[in-house]
Structure 1
Amino acid sequence: MSFYESLLEQTSAERNYLLSAPIIAQAMAGTVSLNSYVAFLTEAYHHVKHTVPLLMTCGGRLPERLEWLRDAIAEYIDEEKGHQEWVLNDIAACGADKEAVRNGLPHMSTELMVSYVYDRIARHNPVSFFGMVNVLEGTSIALATQVAGVIQDKLQLPNKAFSYLSSHGSLDLEHIEFFKKLMNQLDNDDDKAAVVHTAKVVYRLYGDVFRSLPLSA
């Protein structure tokens, strides 16, 4: 079994916790409200804006033996720059105040998730960051494109309100293949354990982010 396959197997319970969030069931059923969608985008902004800073922090702390992984991080940075602005533009297309979101604070669940990953990079093992990558990209593939279509049909919003969700569903199909390759190149047991542990915790924390979103009546 490859390490990537093992990672999926070891984190299945935590992944199920995330996917069982009630808001996801509402989104898939087409009963989600505009308020819920804007709340989702708001929390997305508050973690997506940290993607590049987290990548840079991780890359700066990697040991020389993982220089190949630092090169991959440079590719990730080029891919991820500016995505938080996509989210803000989607919020504006929904009729909400994107500047209020930009200048606002995240829900505590989002703040804890982001803070946890910074802490893992700084105090434990910088490779831990890829546990978060596994969660966010895996969730995007499982949900993003399909949910975007259902929500758009329900709420009758324009295409420009779904640039973040729609792009990440298709974009992350490419990313996940790149991610698999990287994970299967890891040959240090401590690095592998750091990825698994972080993925487990981030699945729980991201699940709590979804559980913090308002449900439709």
Structure 2
Amino acid sequence: MSGGSASGRLRAKLSLVEAGPHGATAALWQADRARDRYLAYLVTMHQVIRASVPLMERAADLADRAARCGADPLAAPLARYLRAHVLEETGHDAWLLEDLAAAGVDTKAVLRAVPPPDVAALTGAQHYWTEHHHPLALIGYIAVLEGHAPAARLGAVLARRTCLPEAAFRTVRAHAHLDADHVDDVYALLDSLPLTGRDEALLAVSALHTVDALTRIFVRLGRRAPAAVPLRETGRPTPTGGPG
């Protein structure tokens, strides 16, 4: 294994692929129909984030089980971290629904919608690795999601372009501030664990898959005309024109 810290090695690997998600998100927010794209973004982020707490809870359960057996030195600290992170992330899917409701969206229709394959690919891979290999895989996923928080000024920019109410930007604004601390926590965890080369390979596979899947999601949101999101007041699709 090369020198340095586990966090440094993972950061170095991720730095090689950062152009993908950064370019895709930049293209998304530079595209036309900003209001429709922002609403589609909120729907997609809800589909992703509502999987996060159940994933962490399952990974923590598996780590706890391994810790009781006493043979896995990663298990106990991993379970502690995941339990703490569950407390930090609980309710964020509800925030997104509240943002959508503030924008006039029918949130019941959002919950009924079938999530697209790229969302399933992003979160479903973590279910597989957690259940069938090791819950450590989820840390690679968390590191990437926490490391790709919205830019601090994104909420203000989108509020101007979309003419949506301030209450529709709660989650974007909150995560711009919260995730900086969270990403530091996850890398501190990695440096505290007795990781082997095989462990670091698992983290890298999970993290790089997460980057690729996120990039695909943002490319879809930026390139394709966003699907109509039904409004709560009228039950009709949002208009394709309007601000942005």
User: Which residue in the other structure is 1:134 paired with?
Assistant: 143
Partners of 1:126 and 1:16 in 2: how far apart?
Answer: 28
Q: CA deviation at 1:214?
A: 4.7
Report deviation, 1:195: 1.1
1:84 partnered with 2:93 = yes
Q: Kindly indicate whether residue 221 of structure 2 is the aligned counterpart of residue 213 of structure 1.
A: yes
Aligned to 1:105: 114
* Residues 159-200 of structure 1 deviation map (CA, whole Å, 9 limit, x = unaligned): 210111111110112212211210111222222221111000
Q: Distance in 2 between matches of 1:3 and 1:76?
A: 20
* Structure label with greater radius of gyration: 2
| Contact preservation (8 Å) 2:31, 2:222 | no
Q: 1:26 to 1:209 in 2, by over 3 A?
A: closer
Please name the residue that 1:163 is paired with. 170
Counterparts of 1:18 and 1:123 in 2: how far apart (Å)?
28
Code of the aligned partner of 1:148: G
User: Pick from 206, 209, 223: which aligns with 1:201?
Assistant: 209
Aligned length: 213
Contact 2:28 2:221 in 1 (8 A): no
Aligned to 1:3: 6
Match for 1:24: what amino acid? A
TM-score, structure 2 normalization:
0.81
Q: Tell me the residue number matched to 2:182.
A: 175
- Root-mean-square deviation over aligned CA pairs: 1.8
- The 2-side partners of 1:77 and 1:194 are apart by 22
Contact 1:30 1:151 in 2 (8 A): no
Distance 1:49 1:26, change over 3 A: closer
Aligned mates of 1:6, 1:31 — CA distance in 2: 38
Whole-angstrom distance in 1 between the partners of 2:33 and 2:10:
31
**TM-fit CA distance, 1:31:** 5.0
Residue pair 2:136, 2:203 contacting (<8 A) in 1 also: yes
Partner of 1:24: 26
**What's the counterpart of residue 41 of structure 2?**
40
Amino acid of the structure 2 residue aligned with 1:73: L
1:70 to 74, 79, 82: 79
Q: Which moved more, 1:6-15 or 1:47-56?
A: 6-15
Following superposition, the deviation at residue 47 of structure 1 comes to: 1.1
Contact 1:107 / 1:212 at 8 angstroms: preserved in 2?
Answer: no
> In 2, are the aligned partners of 1:45 and 1:87 still within 8 Å (CA)?
yes
Distance 2:177 2:31 in 1: 21
Q: C-alpha separation between the residues in 2 aligned to 1:56 and 1:40?
A: 25
User: 2:120, 2:44 → 1: CA distance?
Assistant: 9
Q: Offset of 1:57 from its aligned partner?
A: 1.2
Structure 1 or 2: more helix by fraction: 1
Partner in structure 1 of residue 127 of structure 2:
118
Between the aligned residues of both structures, percent identity stands at 23
